[in-house]
């Protein structure tokens, strides 16, 4: 399965079509919930009545955690998406995605979703080494599930950076990234999306990203 976050940059046609050609499922998304109707319209147009390759459609990513939207605004956007997608014949899963702590603190986000979808990164806990990334993230998933009344939980982002400054015991390096990914894979047999495919050199750092914001790509920097 391949996760996308929105519809900008023609990603439905480029990434979506490439994933479909490989028989992979799509985790599509609405990035800007103030544009839910128009972004859903683009997803519907791409599907063209065939929803067989879609696993999930997400409405927003970490909006409550970053202050981009309130819980009620996210829930309302999910309602809009459900109406439009249902009318277009989509019967798959619809969720919102937020950080594991935001989901745990705001179970209404889970209740509006078809399962609990949470991002969890062990690197941001200064007491966790790369080799313990898997157990740490599993604990995050269990916390979300418990807070959300036992709902099925998918970790929709988890990984480790290959460059940057250390966050206590959490050290960014290629070796630590490989160790963290191995730990995540050995801990989870399903319900995990690794973050992310390639380094995002267009991103900018802030005080909380330890100089690592651009360097989470499992396959390094794309040559494309």
Contact yes or no for 29/70 (Cβ under 8 A)? no
Q: 3-state class of 57 per DSSP? A: strand
As given in the structure block, the two tokens for residue 93 are: 């899963």
Burial zone of 2 (CB within 10 Å; 0-12 exposed, 13-18 middle, 19+ buried): middle
Burial class of residue 94, CB neighbours in 10 A (0-12, 13-18, 19+)? buried
Closest CA to 122 of 177, 65, 63, 58: 177
Measured between alpha carbons, how far is 140 from 122 in angstroms, rounded to an integer? 9
Among the listed residues 210, 195, 204, the one whose alpha carbon sits nearest the alpha carbon of residue 120:
195
Gyration radius of the chain over CA positions: 17
**Residues catalogued as catalytic:** 157
Which residues is 20 bridged to in the sheet?
none
- Collapsing DSSP to helix, strand or coil, 3 comes out as strand
């Amino acid at each position: 399965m391949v996760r996308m976050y929105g519809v900008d940059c023609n990603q439905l046609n480029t990434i979506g079509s490439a994933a479909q050609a490989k028989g992979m499922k799509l985790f599509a998304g609405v990035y800007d919930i103030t544009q839910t109707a128009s972004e859903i319209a683009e997803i519907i147009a791409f599907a063209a009545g065939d929803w067989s390759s879609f696993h999930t459609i997400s409405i927003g990513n970490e909006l409550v955690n970053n202050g981009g939207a309130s819980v009620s605004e996210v829930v309302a956007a999910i309602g809009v998406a459900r109406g439009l997608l249902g009318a277009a014949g989509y019967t798959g899963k619809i969720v919102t995605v937020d950080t594991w702590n935001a989901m745990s603190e705001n179970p209404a986000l889970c209740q509006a979703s078809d399962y609990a979808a949470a991002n969890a990164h062990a690197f941001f806990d200064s007491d966790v080494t790369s080799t313990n990334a898997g157990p740490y993230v599993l604990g995050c998933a269990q916390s979300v599930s418990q807070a959300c009344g036992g709902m099925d939980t998918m970790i929709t982002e988890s990984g480790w950076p290959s460059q940057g400054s250390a966050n206590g015991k959490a050290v960014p390096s290629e070796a630590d990234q490989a160790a963290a990914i191995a730990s995540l894979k050995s801990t989870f047999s399903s319900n995990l999306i690794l973050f992310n495919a390639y380094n995002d050199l267009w991103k900018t750092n802030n005080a909380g990203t330890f100089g690592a914001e651009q360097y989470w790509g499992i396959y390094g920097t794309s040559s494309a």
